[in-house]
Amino acid sequence: MVFIKTIFFLLLQHFVVTSCNAVIGHHHNPHHSLLRDKAALLQFKKAITYDPNSTLANWNEATDVCNYTGVGCNKKHHRVTILLLHNRKLVGQLSPIISNLTRLRYLELVGNHFYGTIPPELSLLRHLHHLRIEGNNFRGSIPDSLVLPSQLTVVTLLQNNFSGAVPPALFSNCSLLRVFDLSNNFLSGKIPREIGNCPNLWTLNLYNNQFTGEIPLSLTNTSLVNLDVEFNHLSGELPVKLVENLPDILYLHLSNNNMVSHDGNTNLDPFFTALANCISLEELELASMGLGGILPSSIGGLGVNFTYLLLQENKIIGSVPSNIGNLSKLVVLNLTSNLMNGTISANISQLSHLEQLFLSHNFFTSTIPEALGHLPHLGLLDLSHNSFFGDIPSGLGNLAMLNYLFLNNNLLSGTIPPSLGRCTELYKLDLSFNRLAGAIPPELSGLNEIRIFINLSHNHLEGSIPIELSKLEDVQEMDLSSNNLSGSIFPQISSCIALTLINFSHNALEGSLPDFIGELKNLVSLDVSDNHLSGRIPLSLNKSLTLTYLNLSFNDFKGMVPSGGIFESVSYTSFLGNKHLCGKVAAKHVCPRTKHLFRSRIFIIMFVIVIFISTSLSIICCVIAFRRIKVLISSQRAATVKKPTQPEVIQNFPRVTYRDLSEATGGFDDQRLIGTGSYGRVYRGVLPDGTTIAVKVLHLQSGNSTKSFNRECQVLRRIRHRNLIRIITACSLPDFKAIVLPYMANGSLDSRLYPHSQAGLGSGSSDLSLIQRVNICSDIAEGMAYLHHYSPVRVIHCDLKPSNVLLNDGMTALVSDFGIARLVIAGGGVGNAGLENMGNSTASLLCGSIGYIAPEYGFGSNTSTKGDVYSFGVLVLEMVTRKRPTDDMFVGGLSLHSWVKNHYHGRVDKVLDSSLVRASRDQPPEMKKMWDVAIGEMIELGILCTQESPSTRPTMLDAADDLDRLKRYLGGDTTATFASSLGISSSTLDDD
């Protein structure tokens, strides 16, 4: 028995030793460990799609796993420890097989298109330090299992579609957690107070979610340096106790929440007093919160490193306190759009590092302090739209770094200080709508770096225009209108080669226009009306290829109006009040000749008249005889001639007179004005039968109005589609041309996208829902597809933009304004077809409006339907972003297309219309997904339509089909699927 037990023990010992050796061999055999990791990565690869020519191209059996793209190994443990796949355009679900990489320390899948939920198996990665999956399409709730990898130090889940509440259990094992970022999701509920269990947490980003309640006080148990909770629904008073106990915080961003100041939103002092304990604070953002109270003196107690203070769009009252000067390192101070009045303390001069000062749209009623001239680094000063009075401080000329100076719309008086000429870095100078007097100082020639505009209009300036302004070679717009300027226009103005706009109207200028003014190669608009100019109109103006607006009215020009160029398109209204002008567009159609010349030829003229009358009588007799013979022949053949199988189609528009339209619009009363444009004005009218109409009256002094009128009539009488405006009738007189159209109760798309404040919506938002925007884009696409592919005469619109899209009672979109449309000749194709010659060519007109013109037109390419597609793409991006393509932000090569494309795979919320973001937050999870798909599809379509190369753009049929499917999808059609709903992007073309 003992022998048997001994044998059994020896066998058991051998089995245990063998098993242990096998296990040890398994864990320390580098070949076996890496083989298992390679198998996991190859399985992970099978679950996703990718670009086979670049990403993961070397992930195969033949390649060492440690040489895989984005993979790093630890040589000591012979395991994969790093998986970094940033912006690799990977699409698919995150496979649970990733949990087999048990030594993984860094898992970063940033900026891809992963979708679905986070697999719970990630909890098996016990050595994981960094989990970064931002910029994907993950959805669902955040799993509690993320608490298990206790060594996590960085968790960034931002820019996904996570929803629901943040589980409190997530913070039960977070002693090492330092960075936690859930921004740009759809998370709701309260911020868990358990987050205070993370003692080493120093960055907490929760912005752009739907969190409610108050910021938890438990955050005082952390080591916070950065707290960003902007764009949520957080409430309560500003968190005094929180900031008192966060002495190391650097960045505190609370903007766009529902918090209030103390004492019923009237007292900011407790909060700023508490901030004095935050000795390291650098940035404080409290914008767009409606905070009330005065700016307290305790603001001077902020830390010595404080640099950014954003308080715009609140209800702050009072003056700028004197101890603001204590913030010696302040870089940006924004108090725009508050209720501030009183004065600006002279101590502001102590802000020696200040670069941007925004005080516009307030109620300041003081003088501008000289102290502002002691800010050596100031680059932007905006004091516009206040009631500042008195002189412009001469000390502003000391601001050597100043780029933007806006003092417009105030009550400033005195003279323009010559010292401003020392601001040699200025790009924009606006002193308009004040009470400035005296002469324009020649010293302003020192602003030779001014590149955008100089606006001194609507003041009381006098004297001559200084010749020194000719040194402003890079300025694009020069507006000196509505002053008392005298003297002549200096010939050297042709040196300002970048000028696009010159407005010297409503002054007392004398002399002649410079002969070479037409040689300004970029000049678009020239207005010198209401002056005392004389002499002949410069012939050089007819050589300008860019000039589209010309107003020389109410002067004393003499002689013949030149022909060619701009003079072939302007009307006589551009020359009103010039009694000594003659020519076909002037008041006198025939120029007078000398008496000597008349008398010397009177006999010849009389002889020619006699001969002409005799010849005419002979011809008349012959014609009468010929017609009688022709009638006899025709009557004999009439019985044998067959009638046409189809009658000729003739549009029988109702007749309307000028008087009818005048009565219908109350004498074209400004109260009936519903819109203005480059070619005319639109009035609301009512016909005697009660029909409400829109009367588009052409502005005849505009360069191409007559051509525009003829072309629009030609197009409208040939087309008919539910998404295209129809013409009721037209009225054409030598000095009056109008088109009568159906009245659209909902106005233009532009007016709905950018409503005025009196509409009850405020200038910062639009009431158009996402579904309405999709429907409107679909309507426009259908109408444009008809023009390009199905119309009896194919039409290239050439000026598609929101102001040319009208909305009827049912919010159906109708494309309008065909004033510069091109008609495609039969057989000419659609893409680059020739144009039909219809007697009134619009070939000289611009191919659209700035911001919507296809880039190829700038290189001389012919108009094509792909140009319309580009304009449509800009319109679609504008519908999603509510940002005009001509916005001031789009400078230095940045465009609406590139701006959206750069953010689309990152922080897309940064380019979305804020009203869409807010509306999306209020949707249930299922609807949010549909909204995300719709927004993604709209952005994709807009980017694709605005590709630089015309050949890469779709047709309008393609766009119409895509939008029709999108409409059906939003309507509940489950068969309508989209790439973006699976995280697939169609905008994978290379950057333009």
Cβ-Cβ contacts under 8 Å for 759 (sequence gap 6 or more)? none
Q: Residues at the annotated binding site for ATP?
A: 696
Q: What pLDDT, in 10s, does the model give residues 503-542?
A: 999 999 999 999 888 888 889 899 999 999 999 999 889 8
**Does residue 785 sit within a domain?**
yes
Query: For position 933, what pLDDT does the model report?
Result: 85
Question: Are 756 and 763 a contacting pair, CB within 8 Å?
Answer: yes
Q: What is the mean pLDDT of residues 797-808?
A: 90
Query: Looking at the predicted structure, is the pLDDT value of residue 706 above 70?
Result: no
Cβ-Cβ contacts under 8 Å for 764 (sequence gap 6 or more)? 914
Lowest mean pLDDT among 89-103, 449-463, 850-864: 850-864
Query: For position 473, what pLDDT does the model report?
Result: 84
The more confident residue out of 478 and 711 is 478
d(CA 62, CA 39): 12
The more confident residue out of 857 and 593 is 857
**Does residue 193 sit within a domain?**
no
**Does residue 267 sit within a domain?**
no
Query: For position 32, what pLDDT does the model report?
Result: 61
Number of domains making up the chain: 1
Domain that holds residue 924: 746-982
Torsion of CA 357, 358, 362, 364, to 10 degrees: 20
Angle made by CA atoms 298, 299, 302, in degrees to the nearest 5: 105
> What's phi and psi for 189, nearest 5 deg?
80, -170
Q: What pLDDT, in 10s, does the model give residues 607-621?
A: 667 666 767 676 776
* Inter-CA distances, 545 with 500, 548, 565, 711, 730, Å: 12, 9, 7, 21, 31
Which residue, 62, 33, 59, is CA-closest to 45? 59
Question: Whole-prediction pTM value?
Answer: 0.61
Q: Residues at the annotated binding site?
A: 696
Question: Are 209 and 233 a contacting pair, CB within 8 Å?
Answer: no
Lowest mean pLDDT among 195-209, 297-311, 339-353, 664-678: 664-678
Query: For position 390, what pLDDT does the model report?
Result: 95
**Beta strand extents in 136-287 (DSSP E only):** 137-140, 154-156, 161-164, 179-181, 186-190, 203-205, 210-212, 226-228, 251-253, 283-285
Query: Looking at the predicted structure, is the pLDDT value of residue 969 above 50?
Result: yes
Lowest mean pLDDT among 396-410, 638-652, 769-783: 638-652
Residue with tokens 């309560």: 236
Query: For position 793, what pLDDT does the model report?
Result: 77
- DSSP assignment of 926-951 equals HHHHHHHHHHHHHHHHHHHHT-SSGG
Query: For position 19, what pLDDT does the model report?
Result: 39
* Inter-CA distances, 171 with 118, 144, 166, 350, Å: 17, 9, 10, 45
Query: Looking at the predicted structure, is the pLDDT value of residue 330 above 80?
Result: yes
Query: Looking at the predicted structure, is the pLDDT value of residue 666 above 90?
Result: no
**Does residue 90 sit within a domain?**
no
Cα 684 to chain centroid, rounded: 30
The more confident residue out of 51 and 565 is 565
Q: What pLDDT, in 10s, does the model give residues 574-591?
A: 888 898 888 766 655 556
**Count of CA atoms in the C-beta half-sphere (13 A) of 443:** 13
Query: For position 378, what pLDDT does the model report?
Result: 94
The more confident residue out of 761 and 222 is 222
Question: Are 502 and 476 a contacting pair, CB within 8 Å?
Answer: no
Q: What is the mean pLDDT of residues 866-880?
A: 94
Q: Residue 437 — very low, low, confident or very high, per pLDDT cuts 50/70/90?
A: very high
**Does residue 886 sit within a domain?**
yes
The more confident residue out of 370 and 706 is 370
Catalytic residue among 382, 430, 799, 932: 799
**Count of CA atoms in the C-beta half-sphere (13 A) of 71:** 29
Cβ-Cβ contacts under 8 Å for 880 (sequence gap 6 or more)? 773, 900, 911, 912, 913, 916, 935, 938, 939, 942
Lowest mean pLDDT among 172-176, 357-361, 756-760, 804-808: 756-760
Q: Dmax over Cα atoms in the chain, in whole Å?
A: 160
Residue % of the chain over a pLDDT of 70: 82
Query: Looking at the predicted structure, is the pLDDT value of residue 190 above 60?
Result: yes
- DSSP assignment of 548-588 equals -EEE--SSEEEEEPP-SGGGGT--GGGGTT-TEEESTTSSB
Q: What pLDDT, in 10s, does the model give residues 888-932?
A: 778 767 789 888 887 776 566 778 888 888 777 777 777 777 888
Q: What pLDDT, in 10s, does the model give residues 223-269?
A: 999 999 999 999 999 999 999 999 999 999 999 999 999 999 999 99
The more confident residue out of 597 and 756 is 756
**Does residue 588 sit within a domain?**
no
Query: Looking at the predicted structure, is the pLDDT value of residue 981 above 60?
Result: no
Q: Residue 938 — very low, low, confident or very high, per pLDDT cuts 50/70/90?
A: very high
Query: For position 720, what pLDDT does the model report?
Result: 80
Query: For position 733, what pLDDT does the model report?
Result: 76
On the 0-12 / 13-18 / 19+ scale of CB atoms within 10 A, 732 is: middle
Query: For position 705, what pLDDT does the model report?
Result: 60
CATH number at residue 789: 1.10.510.10
Query: For position 636, what pLDDT does the model report?
Result: 45
* Inter-CA distances, 358 with 334, 362, 379, Å: 5, 10, 11
Helix axes 865-881, 925-945, angle to 10 degrees: 150
**Does residue 289 sit within a domain?**
no
Q: What pLDDT, in 10s, does the model give residues 157-171?
A: 998 999 999 999 999
> What's phi and psi for 190, nearest 5 deg?
-90, 155
Angle made by CA atoms 160, 162, 166, in degrees to the nearest 5: 130
Q: Residue 826 — very low, low, confident or very high, per pLDDT cuts 50/70/90?
A: very low
d(CA 933, CA 962): 13
Query: For position 707, what pLDDT does the model report?
Result: 66
Q: What is the mean pLDDT of residues 767-771?
A: 89
d(CA 729, CA 712): 12
Query: Looking at the predicted structure, is the pLDDT value of residue 95 above 90?
Result: yes
**Does residue 906 sit within a domain?**
yes
Which residue, 270, 381, 367, is CA-closest to 319? 367
Q: Look up 799 and say whether it is catalytic.
A: yes
Cβ-Cβ contacts under 8 Å for 805 (sequence gap 6 or more)? 748, 749, 750, 776, 780, 813, 814, 815, 816, 875
Query: Looking at the predicted structure, is the pLDDT value of residue 761 above 70?
Result: no
d(CA 900, CA 912): 9
**Average pLDDT of the residues of the chain:** 82
Query: Looking at the predicted structure, is the pLDDT value of residue 212 above 90?
Result: yes
CA end-to-end distance (rounded Å), the chain: 88
Query: For position 296, what pLDDT does the model report?
Result: 94
Q: What is the mean pLDDT of residues 371-393?
A: 94
d(CA 897, CA 869): 13
Query: Looking at the predicted structure, is the pLDDT value of residue 627 above 70?
Result: no
Q: Strand 673-676 vs strand 680-686: parallel, antiparallel, or unpaired?
A: antiparallel
Cα 709 to chain centroid, rounded: 30
Which residue, 845, 521, 515, 824, is CA-closest to 703? 845
Q: Residue 827 — very low, low, confident or very high, per pLDDT cuts 50/70/90?
A: very low
* Inter-CA distances, 242 with 221, 299, 485, 949, Å: 10, 17, 60, 54
Residue with tokens 């609507």: 458
Tokens of 523: 């000049």
Q: What pLDDT, in 10s, does the model give residues 296-313?
A: 999 999 988 999 999 999
Tokens of 602: 């009177």
Cβ-Cβ contacts under 8 Å for 982 (sequence gap 6 or more)? 91, 113, 115
d(CA 950, CA 822): 18
The more confident residue out of 330 and 573 is 330
